[in-house]
Every structure is written in structure tokens, then in C-alpha cells.
Amino acid sequence: MIRNPILPGFNPDPCICRKGDDYYLAVSTFEWFPGIPVYHSKDLKNWELYTHVLTDDTAVDLKKLPSAKGIWAPSLTYSEKEELFYVVYGVKNSMNARYFDVDNFLITSKDITGPWSEPVYLHSSGFDASILHDGDGKKWIVSLEWETREGYEKPGAICLAEYSPERKEIVGYPTRIWTGGTDRGCIEAPHLTKRGEYYYLMCAEGGTGYGHSVTMGRAENVWGPYLKDPMNPIVTSIPGDFYERHDPDHLKPKYFNPDAVLQKAGHGSYVETQLGEVYLVHLCARPFVPELRCTLGRETAIQKMAWTADGWLRMEDGTNLAKEYVPESQLPEYPVKELPSLDHFDSEELGIQYYAPRIMPGSFADVQARPGYVRIRGQESRTSLNKVSILARKLTSVYAMVTTQMEFTPEVPQHSAGLILYYDNMNYINLRKYYSETLGQSALSIIHLENGEKAELLSTRVPVDDVPVYLRLNIRDRRLWFEWSYDGTVYARIGDNFDTTKFSDEYSRYGEFTGSFVGLTCADRVKHRHYADFDFFEYVVDSIPQS
């Protein structure tokens, strides 16, 4: 059996495609770089982080964008006729006054690892754009047209436009073709496919929260009219009918289903194997209850599907409730290399698992300056939306232990470095070494930012020598705490327990849609050049540390 989620942690809005015997799956990254991770599998059970599509933070400038803006909902497809990969993605620039300003682009590559073409601008009328390569050679762009006018159903309707590869632009304006297959409202995430005589339009409805779902419609003509699947929704966490077209809120916590392990199931994309099997990937979440807070963010799950005799797509078991355990494909099992739990920074390049908010990690993290270490050059404060030095990886379990050894000699109070649990620039907790003028020497203490309110927990302050120091973060379900050590064997606790659930999309007032990260950080708020050296970074999942 396949156990969901197949991609735990912050991996939302999955889109899957196949090239021969290889399966590729892309997810959203919002303000994080590198952008658009692509996972690879040959059996749909074992997945490896394979590459990233967006690696130039000057060509795609996310600096100064608030949390949860940036790269939304990539569409990854493969055109067999052209032997070409396509990625359509949106850059969300603003959600002020619910106007949702976004620019949509298209790029191509012969190889999934690149190089990728220069971006082609498509339009800015909505988000979640994707592409269909039709059998007659035409190409179609579907997207959600974001509605801003009073008196109209929000967020809007699904729109279609033809794309001209020769002119490298859409033809005319996006035209509305569908308002959904249910009355759950908040339609989004359209994917257009062709099978037999029908065009199939797969969407998400109900908002990307607890009423989320996957729906389907079909038509004989690409422009419609589209007939809704009589069983809609075809995948969800909350079966049944409800009317929410009047409510544009995406979260809808009243639809939490206590009988479902996977919540928020929706935003789907399907693929047919070379054996004729059908699998659908979708986002999901696993909240803390009763708070309904998703510290790990929105994750990726998979369901086994089947086509009915009359041409509709269904879950293989005949239900529509997203399952934690799913039958495996008949494809040969193909184990893949897992991300390392311990990184000694012995490679000449940073590991593929590392990310940074808004800028590429390599712009401040250097593994060649001192072999066997990563040297992190300090920049702005962790609250900044511009240039922040946080070298992080996704938190994939709420049972984890994170450890590092750091060498750092702060010279002024504006120098600090250490270990961080980071949801966004308004919500993080940081065990840092800094220069204390009060003590006249270096010290350790904790800074906690909760929805923009900063707390310097001076009661946690401990004087330390300017020698290598071990720092540790323990996460055990609802509580987390820090420890430190000189020798890496005997650790002393620093500070009290903190609430894990607060690092979540639901708790954050300023950001949403992402997930928690753990990592290494350094700040030099004077000259942006003072640095810290880290000997290793260890991220151990499912450890049960003693309190």
C-alpha cells in the first residue's frame, strides 16, 4: 500500500505528468527559493526531490513580496509531439483589497532539469493557469478569472484562451467556460485534458480549506458547454452537498471532518500509467485538533482512480473520501534516494533540500569558503521581506529533532546567528547567539515573533564563550523547546515549551498557504558581511526526545 501523504510538509498544489516510464510532480513554493520543486518517481510510491525549475532570483524577483505571495500553482506537462516539457506558473504580487494581482508565464525545456526557456507572458486576469496540448496541435490555457466586482460570485469563473506558440501570446482575451460542478463555490485550479471524444475539465471547489474538493466536467467542444460529473466531487475530505457560492472565504473550518485523516483534499491532477492505471495527486493537510492548525502546511497525497464505462473518473473503491492508504501500482517498485538526515557540508554545492525566503540560498550560504562547513553571511533581520539569511529545509513531521554545531563570534549587538523554526517573517522562533552589552560578552537567548509581536526572552539569556557551541530544537507534537551544549553530549535546556500549533497557516495573520521550515540563520544588520560557520545540520524525523 501507498501511505499518504506521499510528499509530507509544505508541498501544495501538485501537478503530475509522465514521460515514458518517468513520473514528475511539481508543487508550489510561494515566496521560497529555489522555486517549483519537481519530484520524480517510477512507481508512484517512492518519490525523490529531483530538481527545481526556478533558480534565478533576479529573473523572478520575489523580494519585498509578503508571505504567501510569489509562485503559485505550477502546471507541469509534457508534449510528446514536441518532446518538450512545459511549465505554466503565476507570480502573485498582491492580494490587497482582494484584487489578486498576478502575472502568468510559460516556459519550456527539452529536459526536466533545464535549461528552461525565457518566460513568455500569458495574462494577469487570474491564477492557477495550466495548458492543454491538443491532438490537432492547438494549445489552450485555462485559468481562474478572479472576480472583483460587487454583486458577482467570487472568486470567479474558469476561463479559456488559445495560446499561439508562433506569436508567443494568447489569442484574444480569456473567455468564461465554467462555473463549477458543485455549489461549494470558490472554484479554482483548472486542468484541461483530452480523452477520447471528450475534453475533461478538472477543478478544485470549496476553497483550499476544509470544504476543498476535486470536481470534473466534460464537453465535446473545448469551449463547452461542460457537463458536470453527476458524482461531483470525485475526491474530497468532506463528502456531501452544501451551498457556499455566497462565501468567498477559502478556509471554512466548519467543514472539518473528524472521520478523515486527510483534510482539505482538493486541487487535483491525474496521470495514466503505461499499464493503463489512473492515479490522481491532490493537496491535503493534517491539522492539530481541536485548534485546526496545520503546522506542516498543505501536503501532497495520491489516490487510485478508474474510468467508468460511461467515461467518468472515479476513485477505485467507488467512494469520494480521500484515503490515507492507497493500493500500489502494478509498476515495478523503484526505491529512490532519500534526503540525508545529516549534512556535514562536505559537497562542493549546497544540498537540493535547502531553501531560503525570496532569494537563492547560494547568495549567502557558502560551502567552499571553509571545507566541511557552511558559512552563512548575515544580512537583514528575519522579519525583512528583502534579503534574509535563513538556510532552511521543510518540516515534514511534528516529531523531529534538529541539531547543529556553530562557530560564531558576534562583535556588536546587531550580529546574531543560530537555529530557527520559521513559518514566515511574522512568525518564527530563534535560538540565537549574539553580543550582549549588558553582560559585556556573547550570550544565547531566544527571540519569539508571534504574528508580528516580538518577544526578546531575556529570562532565557545564558552567557557563553566564543567557542563552538551545539544548538538543538526538539519538536514533539504540540510542544517544542531548545537546548544547547559545549560538547554535543550533555545538553542544557534553554527556555520553556512553545506551542507548535501556532506555526501554521490558520494561526498566521499575515501569511497563509505555506508551511513551517527549520534551519540555520545569521544576521548582520550593520554591514551585511559578518558570518557564522556551521559544521553540520542534522534533521531527524520521528525521534522522541526526552523532556
**CA-CA distance, 223 to 116, in Å (whole number)?**
30
**CA-CA distance, 504 to 487, in Å (whole number)?**
33
Q: What Cα–Cα distance (Å) separates residue 139 from each residue in 46, 169, 170, 213, 465? A: 32, 11, 9, 27, 64
Copy the grid coordinates of residue 459.
529570562
Strand, coil or helix: 502? helix
- Give residue 49's Cα distance to chain centre: 13
Could you tell me if 442 and 409 are in contact, meaning their C-beta atoms sit under 8 angstroms apart?
yes
Copy the grid coordinates of residue 77.
506537462
Q: Beta strands of 437-527 (E only): which ranges?
A: 441-450, 453-463, 469-476, 479-485, 492-499, 517-524
- The end-to-end CA distance of the chain, in Å, is 35
Active site residue 43: no
- What single DSSP character describes residue 254? G
Could you tell me if 85 and 109 are in contact, meaning their C-beta atoms sit under 8 angstroms apart?
yes
Selected catalytic residue, list 13, 205, 407, 506 = 13
Place of cell 527549520: 518
Place of cell 504574528: 451
**CA-CA distance, 28 to 42, in Å (whole number)?**
22
DSSP bridge partners of 469: 406
**CA-CA distance, 353 to 362, in Å (whole number)?**
12
Active site residue 380: no
Q: Give the count of alpha carbons within 13 A of 353, CB side only.
A: 21
Residues 6+ apart with CB under 8 A from 412: 435, 526
Torsion angle in degrees (nearest 10) through CA of 498, 503, 504, 510: 130
**CA-CA distance, 407 to 263, in Å (whole number)?**
42
Selected catalytic residue, list 43, 145, 188, 244 = 188
**CA-CA distance, 193 to 443, in Å (whole number)?**
59
Known catalytic residues? 13, 188
